Amino acid sequence: MVAPILAGVAVAAAAYAGKYGIEAWQAFKARPPRPKLRKFYEGGFQAAMTRREAALILGVRESVAAEKVKEAHRRVMVANHPDAGGSHYLASKINEAKDMMLGKSERSGYPF
């Protein structure tokens, strides 16, 4: 006789657990996405720029599309513009990075 009551309580408990579980998961997903606990990269820039470094400078993947490269370049350049307190050295590195990313991907995209 008490079994249906217990069953009902169990269902209610499961429902509440599910509700709060989903809310917690959504809050977790919606948290600010920047992981500040990362360790900084060591040293200065490489003597000769590589595609890997160029991708890192722009904050994109090496296999990213040209459109994304241009977007990233614009964004990163605004943050480091010499007229807005940035340094010419960084600006030139950012430009170099963009050229490297676009140059390589243009070549690979050529339908030969």
Partner 1 sequence: MQNAVRKAGKSITEQEARQILGVTEQTSWEEIVQKYDKLFENNAKAGSFYLQSKVHRAKECLEEVYRSKSTPS
Residues that bind partner 1 (CB under 8 A): 34, 38, 40-48, 53, 56-59, 72, 75-76, 78-80, 82, 84-90, 94
Between 35 and 111, whose beta carbon lies closer to partner 1? 35
Our CB check for partner 1 shows the closer of 40 and 110 to be 40
Residue 46's SS3 state is coil
The b-or-e profile of 77-101 (16+ CB within 10 A means b, else e) is beebeeeeebeeebbebbeebbebb
- In 1-112, which residue ranges form alpha helices assigned H by DSSP? 3-29, 51-58, 66-79, 88-108
Closest approach, Cβ 85 to partner 1, in A, equals 5
Supply the minimum distance, in Å, between the C-beta of residue 107 and partner 1.
24
Nearer to partner 1 by Cβ, of 15 and 79: the residue is 79
- Closest contact distance (angstroms) between CB of 50 and partner 1 is 9
